[in-house]
Chains A and B, each alone.
Chain A
């Protein structure tokens, strides 16, 4: 009796089971990583320096989304801290140049002067503002000669929001966070349990599944380079994570903020022998690799050769399209600069403000090996080039 009553229900359930739509997961969320287009590892890395900040205010969500859209391999960011110890994505220790803080009357009294790496800097410092307060600010384009139309639109994002952008991308996108001004951060911000700035950064990365040595399976799923100008920070975290690390190297006149070592010292063979136990590469300022005089490049130094001899990658910064940043050797042409650094100097990655341009250059000059969809396109392109000379009457 009960069975006959239940029969329609059972019948309906069977129908649903057989004919109902399968539940597909939303594209960005929780797609198994091995179904996403993987990161390319056959040509130098395109690293979106602060996102696509040539077009959109640096280190905003929009700048990172644009960089991913334009084909970047890694989105790069600088980690600093708010007053209440929240890790944020922000380059300068002061808010003045890239936010509208100066126009905010409620923060008028927060101006301070601090010693930063031996220089007195005055401004509104990130660690004097809680996250809630920082979130009321709006970012602006740092350079007057770049697009100003997004000024006042986008907020500062947290490190975790940055990680979510990478996670939600429709293809595998690496991250390249910098442990920025760790000496200053640790001076001004205290975390519970005696944790340091570096601990919090690594903790956050691990929480979101980042780990694994360079080119390991885990790493290829979630590519990551941790960068810093402070070698002691990189050494400190070497026990905490096996993720690959990169030592940034400043201009020839700047000593390291934590160990007070000179450029000459930290680029010596002895130092490379020491540091290569902790890092997979170095990130020098490009004008120290090839010195410049009168806006013309001189003979390259042997820095790249020696780094490569120690199996250290070289990821120089920063490549920019604007002619004031281009040396005359390149005829105001950023593509010629990319060609020089990739083909002649042989770097392994490039920090660029113009992700799209670098991607374009690489796609045209060194397209990736065929995937099936690409080979169709290439075949069509080849046919077009055969037909073209006969097309014009």
Chain B
């Protein structure tokens, strides 16, 4: 009885203190209701950070993506491949030679292999021959010698899950743009449980994190996504599994599709565009096939964009780079003039760029978003 007499005031006092004086519990920024995040802009062509801000950081690393978001990207883009143990990672090349320090790792010296990839023999250290644990011991490096080398060896390869986390943790709505990369090769080399294919695993991961909804739906605007691939059959295959918008990538005029062995002429024909249209919201061509180049000078544009637009297909060409060796003569070594041409003359709907900041700058200077009241 005496105990209760003492406890009760204490209890009441504790309650009082807890109520009045304690800190309010704010949810961490990234976990805030997505309705409070600054939304995706949809009034001007999409700024797609190709492999992150890889003009400045080694491609497809966490800093590369965070920098891209910081610089104003609408979407951060990535290529999905697989490890030996079936973990989905963000990496562009099927081999590790050009973008990691694998060659310096003596413990992996015997892992060099030769495989046939899209009809060509390739020798190197392949992602599918390393477990995730092993890949995580490697350091990413800047692919191009004329770009900043100071981060070489500092950052790791990241997984699809980690990439998604970067997008979801951003303080504004940042879209993702993952590519189902080399699915033919991956499915040959890696087997998943229950007979699941590479495409199945990717979609399962995306769904796990709540990616769903058709283009411009409420769900989509909360977590924007485009799923891209050079392999049309992969996009068709996943069309039943997810209503997320898909984009069909188109390679150079001489390259055949890896899954169906079709030519450029075939997959850009009216007939094919009519066929693929129910499955995709757009196409992603190599920009020098849209406007052919002769002696580093742009020639007359083809009608590809017009034919795509007439079918309500978006066009997101790749890839825009600031360095003068990538800029055609008419642009006077000025990447902004290139953006101007593609956005205002050709009228594309999105651009894959290595220099997110420059595209963002250009768009902010010439087509600033309307101010919120």
Q: How distant is the Cα of A145 from the Cα of B296 in the complex, in angstroms?
A: 11
Interface string of A378-393 (1 = CB under 8 A from B): 0000000110110110
Q: How distant is the Cα of A39 from the Cα of B361 in the complex, in angstroms?
A: 28
**Binding stretch for chain A, among B22-30, B192-200, B245-253, B318-326:** B318-326
**Binding stretch for chain B, among A26-34, A90-98, A323-331:** A323-331
Q: Which of A331, A333, A356 contacts B332 (CB 8 A)?
A: A356
**Interchain CB contact under 8 A, A323 and B332:** no
**A335-B358, A336-B357 in contact; A328/B146 too (CB < 8 A)?**
no
**Interchain CB contact under 8 A, B324 and A333:** no
Q: How distant is the Cα of A388 from the Cα of B41 in the complex, in angstroms?
A: 12
**A324-B146, A388-B43, A392-B42 in contact; A356/B334 too (CB < 8 A)?**
yes
The answer to whether A268 has its CB under 8 Å from any CB of chain B is: no
Q: Which of B147, B324, B361 contacts A145 (CB 8 A)?
A: B324
Within 8 A of A (CB), among B19-55: 42-44, 53, 55
Closest Cβ–Cβ distance, residue B118 to chain A (whole Å) = 30
Q: Which of B56, B146, B334 contacts A331 (CB 8 A)?
A: B56
**A145-B325, A365-B365, A389-B370 in contact; A354/B43 too (CB < 8 A)?**
no
**Interchain CB contact under 8 A, B333 and A321:** yes
**A332-B322, A333-B355, A392-B43 in contact; A54/B333 too (CB < 8 A)?**
yes
Closest Cβ–Cβ distance, residue B345 to chain A (whole Å) = 15
Q: Which of A323, A335, A356 contacts B323 (CB 8 A)?
A: A323
Closest Cβ–Cβ distance, residue B204 to chain A (whole Å) = 32
Q: Which of B325, B334, B368 contacts A334 (CB 8 A)?
A: B334
**A322-B324, A331-B322 in contact; A146/B43 too (CB < 8 A)?**
no
Closest Cβ–Cβ distance, residue A138 to chain B (whole Å) = 20
**Interchain CB contact under 8 A, A335 and B361:** yes
**Interchain CB contact under 8 A, B357 and A388:** no
Best-buried of B44, B324, B355 by chain A (most CB within 10 Å): B324
Within 8 A of B (CB), among A355-370: 356-357, 360, 364-365
The answer to whether B366 has its CB under 8 Å from any CB of chain A is: yes
**Interchain CB contact under 8 A, B322 and A333:** yes
The answer to whether A58 has its CB under 8 Å from any CB of chain B is: no
Closest Cβ–Cβ distance, residue B338 to chain A (whole Å) = 12
**Interchain CB contact under 8 A, A331 and B370:** no
Within 8 A of A (CB), among B53-84: 53, 55-56
Interface string of B333-373 (1 = CB under 8 A from A): 11111000000000000000001011001100111101000
Chain B residues packing against A (C-beta within 8 Å): 42-44, 53, 55-56, 146-148, 150, 322-325, 329, 332-337, 355, 357-358, 361-362, 365-368, 370
Enumerate 11 A-B pairs (CB-CB under 8 Å) in ascending A order: A145-B324, A146-B333, A321-B333, A332-B358, A356-B334, A357-B337, A360-B334, A360-B337, A364-B366, A389-B43, A392-B43
